[in-house]
Structures are given as structure tokens and as C-alpha cells.
């Protein structure tokens, strides 16, 4: 799990992280309901207004361990290229690297996928789609951020249109550094993720539900044309 | 045999065919991987996938039909299977075979897809609708040669009871329908390619084209149910084909061998060919296979 405080001041340029600890938000109704205030009045009833909840692991440890093993051995990747790093996913499917031997497979729809691979730089336009897709995935869900740009902005450090740390907007389980990382590096990142899942440490979904206000405030700060519900079920 | 024992036996054989069907799916994945020069997932991967899907912590729904879609689908799979005598002469594996079971089975093969069409439609995803319309069109097309072949078989043996059709094929390989009515078998095997939906007839769940098709919105245990049904339905179809055309089976190992061989027919064709366009796929079934089926019907009638 990533220690958030440890990396807090890595990016002095990224202001939103510091200022939004106590947000005065417009989406809070109560513990279980969201306002969807940014949607037009007539559209609000089209969408679910449920707030994501923390779903604790099963208490009976052997069962939870078994389920975690199954989750780790059947990782379905959301095949959604969000940057140049996504090109490194293709070699993984070929005969040379072949991730299918680890039970991994690309899945074309976020509903069925369990791993979101952030492939490099994230522009504001892409971030909106990333948030939408990530929230549509059903938990437990995991995020692997590939390439330097997803970690600290990389060569887009000064860009007006690119966010620097994807970790401020959705919880990330594993980072793979490099520009570009070799397919071997990505593969090793996925194996690290499998290990984390099996150890029961990959609880990004619960982190997102727990710190929902913080993540949502960060997202809303940078995404100006917010025309979707507060949580995309 | 009492009805309770019969039900117990039927569910036992359902479990057996489910495990065998899922294992076959795993073997198929492995074969596809080897054809492409990869190592491929382990053979038990379908079981892990089902477990994983069922262990999802959250889930969404779009309404009542969305719930009922997978339920209808698995009812179709179980219904198909429950009326097929699995092993000839075995009490445990005879299921609920009755005098008109062939008609009932033909109906149940349709049933699951219709239920799924309703459920997927409520999901509201455009690709679901595209996949459903493709699936129903293709099903209508491949059902024509299959129905013709089955009617020809019914005329040939003078019965609609699968057990009697199997009984008529006992006594050596030359009494199989494969040799007594080769045209009907040809038509049915071609329509089985459409039923199994591997290439070149993979237009419903066309990967890279309309990703996932009908089950696009399904997740979690819905998907687990659909994947379980894939095992049951594949097993049921294979057992049906084995019974009708390849002399049935008198023991479990023979059943496994024969169903494996029948499945490999569509798998090897699937591994070797690219995908048809939708309209080409539908036209294909309505041309030569239908002609062969008609010919088989004509010969059986004369």
C-alpha cells in the first residue's frame, strides 16, 4: 500500500493536494447519498445517487485468502489505452511475453475488468474518462500506473493540460517506472500486484470509498466540465 | 426408480457435465494459445474465473429483466441437459429422457438465448443490442440446417425419442448416423460451428469488434452464472450431438472421448479461420448447409 504522507511533498507544483483536506463540497447529502448537484435537474433521477461504501474483507481468513488467490490468478485488464504506455500492453499478449499464462486477459468492458492500467500521461480530458471507467469497475479493483508521467508528470511537468500524479485522483496499487518501461517491467509490475492481492494489501477500492471526499474534491478541481454523476456506478 | 432418486441422479450428472464442459473450455483456451505459439492459461482457469467473478464485492443492476437474463440463460442450459439421456443404458445418467425429448431439447437450445436477449437489452449498452440482434439472426440461420437434419433423423428412425435413436445406432461403428445418414450429419456439424460460436462464426461476442456483445454490462455473479452456463451448455450440446450422430456412449470415458473429438472439430476450424461478416455468416448457413439438410430430408423421406 502506498504511504500517502510520505510522498506528499514530492510535487510542490500540484496545489490541489494540499488545499483540499477539508473540502467544502457540493456532493454531500448524507453518509449514503450523493447530491449529483452538477447534473441538470431533470437528469438527476437517471443516475444512482448511492455513495460508495467500504466493503471489509471476509472475516474468516482462510476463505478470504482463497478468494484473494482467485482474484490474483484471474486478473482481467481493462483494455483502455490512456497514454503512450498502453502500447506496452500489446507485446504482453503476444507469444514472447504471454500474460495469459498468469491467468490475465484483456477485457473490453470496465464492468468485468479488475485491473486498470494507466498507460502514461493523463490529460484532463482523459482523466474524466479514467474516473468514469474506474468507478464503473466493480470491486475489488486494482490500478497499475505505468510510465513516469503517471507518477510525477514526467516530461509533461509544466503542461497546462496534464495532471501530474494520478494517485491524487484514483488510488494506485503499483507503479512501474520508466519512459517507456520495457514489457518485462510491466510484467513484473503485474506480478507485484498479484503478490499484493494475495497478501490482502491491495484494498484500493476501500481506500477510495474511505477517502471519497478527498478524491472527489481533487477530481472536481481539475475537471471543469463535470457533466456526470458524482459516482458513476 | 423413485422421482427423488431420479432428481438426485440428474443433478449429479449435471455436476459432472458442468465440470467436464468447463474443463473442455480450459483445454480449448490452451489449444488456441498453443496454435498462436503461447503457453496459455492453465486448464483450470475457467474455474478460477468463475470463483473470482462470484467473489466480487460490489455489483450493479439495470432492472428485473437484467437479473432474469442470466437466470433464463442457465435455465436454458440446464433444461437442455436435463432431457438428454447422457449415457446409454445407465440409470444414473439417463436424466429425464421421455418420448418426445428431441423436440423439447430443440426448444431449450433457443430458450436461453431469448432470455439473454431480453436481459442484455435492459443493460442498455449499444454493443449489447448489436450483439443480441446478431446472435438472434445467426441463431435463426443455423437452426435451419440443424432442424432439417434432426427432422431427417426423426424420419429415418421413426421416433422423436433420443434414447431410441441412440439404441438404433448400437452395434458397431457402421450403424452410427454418421454412416447411415452422412448428409444429415454434415448439415448438423456445420450448424454446430455456428452454435459453438468460434471463428468464423464468432460474430456475437466479437472481440475487438463489438467487445463482449450481449454480456457487456454483466459483472460479478451474473457473469459467474453465465460462465457456469457456458460449461453446462457446451456439455449438453456435445452430448446431444454425440447421441444423435455418433452412436451415443455406453460409459463415461467413451463419452469424454467422443465429446472431446466433436468439440475439437469446431475448435480447430476456429483456430484456423478469421471471422465472417455478419451478413456473410447468415447467408452461409442459408445456402449450402441448408441445401445439404434438404437433400438429407429428401433422401430420408424417399
Answer whether A149's CB lies under 8 Å from A122's CB. yes
A74–B37: do the CB atoms touch at under 8 Å?
no
What would the pLDDT profile of B243-284 be if each residue is shown by its tens digit?
Answer: 999 988 888 899 999 999 999 998 989 888 888 888 899 999
Kindly give, in sequence order, each residue whose CB lies less than 8 Å from that of residue B5, ignoring residues fewer than 6 positions away: none
Q: What is the per-residue pLDDT for A12?
A: 41
Non-local (6+) Cβ contacts of B2 within 8 A are: none
Q: What is d(CA A120, CA A112) in angstroms, rounded to the nearest whole number?
A: 23
Nearest to B219 among A71, A111, A140 (CB): A111
Distance of residue B124 Cα from the nearest chain A Cα, in angstroms: 13
Query: Chain B contacts of A112, Cβ < 8 Å?
Result: 53, 212, 215, 218-219, 223
Distance from CA of B20 to the nearest CA of A (A): 20
- Which domains, and CATH codes, for chain A? 24-222 (3.40.50.12280)
Annotate A75-103 with b (16+ C-beta within 10 A) or e (fewer): bbbbbbbbbebbebbebbbeeebbbbebb
**Burial environment of residue B53 by CB neighbours within 10 A (0 to 12, 13 to 18, 19 or more):** buried
What is the pLDDT, as a whole number, of residue A24?
Answer: 61
- Which residue among A109, A205, A233 sits closest to B212, beta carbon to beta carbon? A109
The shortest CB-CB distance from B40 to any of A100, A140, A233 is to A100
Asked if A101's CB is within 8 angstroms of B57's CB, the reply is no
Break chain B into its structural domains and give their ranges.
3-301
pLDDT at residue B145, rounded to an integer: 93
**CB nearest to A70's CB, from B40, B51, B219:** B51
Asked if the Cβ–Cβ distance from A138 to B48 is below 8 Å, we say: no
Collect all residues of chain A within an 8 Å Cβ-Cβ radius of residue B49: 74, 103
Residues of A with CB under 8 A from a CB of B: 48, 52, 55, 67, 70-71, 73-74, 79, 94-95, 98, 100-101, 103, 105, 107-109, 111-112, 114, 138-140, 205, 233
Q: CB-CB: which of B33, B52, B207 is closest to A74?
A: B52
Tell me the residues of B at the A interface, defined by beta carbons under 8 Å apart.
Answer: 29, 33, 36-42, 45, 48-49, 51-53, 55-60, 125, 207-208, 211-212, 215-220, 223
Nearest to A228, CA basis, from A60, A101, A47, A50: A47
Q: Please report the pLDDT score of residue A34 as a whole number.
A: 85
Q: What is the pTM of this model?
A: 0.89
A48, A52, A101: residue with CB nearest B40: A101
In angstroms, what separates the C-alpha of A142 from chain B's closest C-alpha?
13
Cα separation of A119 and A150, whole Å? 8
Give the C-alpha separation, B83 to B237, whole Å. 12
Q: Residue B104 CB: number of other CB atoms within 10 A? A: 19
Give me the average pLDDT of each 10-residue run along chain A (233 residues). 54 47 68 84 86 90 93 89 84 91 89 90 91 91 91 86 89 91 92 93 91 89 88 87
CB atoms within 10 A of CB B256: 16
Say what the pLDDT of residue B197 is.
85
Q: Nearest Cβ partner of B216 from A70, A71, A109?
A: A109
Contacts of B208 in chain A (CB under 8 A): 108
Nearest CA in chain B to A206: B57
pLDDT for the residue numbered A116: 92
Q: Taking CB atoms and an 8 Å limit, are B56 and A112 in contact across chains?
A: no
Min Cα separation B255/chain A (Å): 29
* pLDDT of res. A3: 59
Query: Mean pLDDT in runs of 10 for chain B (302 residues)?
Result: 86 91 93 90 94 91 88 90 87 80 86 85 87 89 92 90 88 86 91 88 83 86 91 91 89 91 91 88 92 91 81
State the complex-level ipTM: 0.87
A201/chain B closest Cα distance in angstroms: 16
CB burial class (10 A; 0-12, 13-18, 19+) of residue B109? buried
List residues bridging with A78 in a β-sheet: A107, A116
Structure confidence at residue B228 (pLDDT) = 93
Which residues in chain B have Cβ-Cβ distances shorter than 8 Å to A73? 48, 52
Amino acid at each position: 500500500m502506498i504511504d500517502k504522507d510520505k510522498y506528499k511533498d514530492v510535487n510542490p507544483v500540484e496545489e490541489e493536494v494540499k488545499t483540499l483536506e477539508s473540502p467544502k463540497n457540493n456532493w454531500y447529502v448524507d453518509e449514503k447519498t450523493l447530491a449529483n448537484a452538477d447534473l441538470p435537474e431533470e437528469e438527476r433521477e437517471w443516475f444512482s445517487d448511492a455513495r460508495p461504501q467500504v466493503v471489509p474483507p471476509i472475516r474468516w481468513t482462510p476463505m478470504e485468502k482463497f478468494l484473494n488467490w482467485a482474484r490474483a490468478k484471474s486478473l482481467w485488464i481493462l483494455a483502455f489505452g490512456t497514454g503512450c504506455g498502453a502500447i506496452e500492453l500489446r507485446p504482453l499478449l503476444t507469444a514472447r511475453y504471454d500474460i495469459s499464462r498468469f491467468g490475465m486477459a484483456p477485457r473490453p468492458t470496465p464492468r468485468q475488468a479488475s485491473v486498470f492500467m494507466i498507460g502514461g500521461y493523463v490529460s484532463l480530458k482523459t482523466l474524466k474518462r479514467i474516473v468514469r471507467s474506474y468507478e464503473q469497475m466493480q470491486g475489488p479493483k486494482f490500478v497499475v500506473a505505468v510510465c513516469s508521467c503517471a507518477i510525477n508528470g514526467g516530461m509533461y511537468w509544466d503542461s497546462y493540460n496534464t495532471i501530474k500524479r494520478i494517485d491524487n485522483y484514483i488510488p494506485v496499487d503499483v507503479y512501474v517506472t520508466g519512459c517507456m518501461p520495457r514489457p518485462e517491467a510491466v510484467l513484473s509490475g503485474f506480478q507485484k500486484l498479484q503478490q499484493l492481492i494475495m497478501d490482502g494489501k491491495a484494498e484500493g477500492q476501500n481506500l477510495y470509498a474511505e477517502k471519497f471526499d478527498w478524491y472527489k474534491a481533487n477530481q472536481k478541481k481539475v475537471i471543469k466540465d463535470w457533466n456526470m454523476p458524482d459516482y458513476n456506478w | 426408480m423413485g422421482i427423488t432418486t431420479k432428481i438426485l441422479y440428474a443433478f449429479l450428472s449435471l455436476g459432472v457435465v458442468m465440470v467436464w464442459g468447463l474443463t473442455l473450455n480450459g483445454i480449448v483456451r490452451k489449444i488456441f494459445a498453443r496454435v498462436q505459439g503461447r503457453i496459455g492459461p492453465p486448464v483450470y482457469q475457467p474455474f478460477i474465473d468463475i470463483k473470482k467473478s462470484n467473489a466480487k464485492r460490489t455489483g450493479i443492476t439495470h432492472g428485473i429483466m437484467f437479473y432474469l437474463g442470466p437466470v433464463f440463460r442457465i435455465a436454458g442450459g440446464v433444461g437442455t441437459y436435463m432431457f438428454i439421456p447422457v449415457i446409454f443404458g445407465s440409470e444414473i445418467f439417463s436424466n429425464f429422457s421421455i418420448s418426445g425429448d428431441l423436440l423439447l431439447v430443440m426448444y431449450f437450445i433457443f430458450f436461453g438465448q431469448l432470455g439473454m436477449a431480453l436481459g442484455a437489452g435492459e443493460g442498455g449498452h449499444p454493443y449489447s443490442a448489436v450483439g443480441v440482434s446478431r446472435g438472434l439472426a445467426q441463431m435463426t440461420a443455423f437452426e435451419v440446417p440443424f432442424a432439417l437434419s434432426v427432422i431427417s433423423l426423426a424420419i429415418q428412425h421413426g421416433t422423436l425419442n433420443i434414447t431410441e435413436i441412440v439404441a438404433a445406432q448400437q452395434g458397431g461403428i457402421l450403424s452410427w448416423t454418421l454412416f447411415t445418414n452422412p448428409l444429415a450429419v454434415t448439415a448438423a456439424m456445420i450448424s454446430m460451428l455456428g452454435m459453438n460460436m468460434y471463428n468464423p462464426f464468432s460474430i456475437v461476442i466479437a472481440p475487438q469488434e463489438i467487445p463482449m456483445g450481449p454480456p457487456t454490462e454483466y459483472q460479478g455473479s451474473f457473469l459467474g452464472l453465465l460462465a457456469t452456463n457456458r460449461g453446462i451448455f457446451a456439455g449438453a450440446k456435445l452430448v446431444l450431438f454425440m447421441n444423435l450422430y455418433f452412436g451415443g456412449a455406453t460409459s463415461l470415458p467413451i463419452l469424454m472421448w467422443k465429446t472431446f473429438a466433436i468439440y475439437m472439430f469446431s475448435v480447430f476450424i476456429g483456430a484456423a479461420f478469421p471471422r465472417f461478416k455478419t451478413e456473410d455468416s447468415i447467408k452461409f448457413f442459408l445456402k449450402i448447409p441448408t441445401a445439404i439438410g434438404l437433400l438429407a430430408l429428401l433422401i430420408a423421406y424417399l
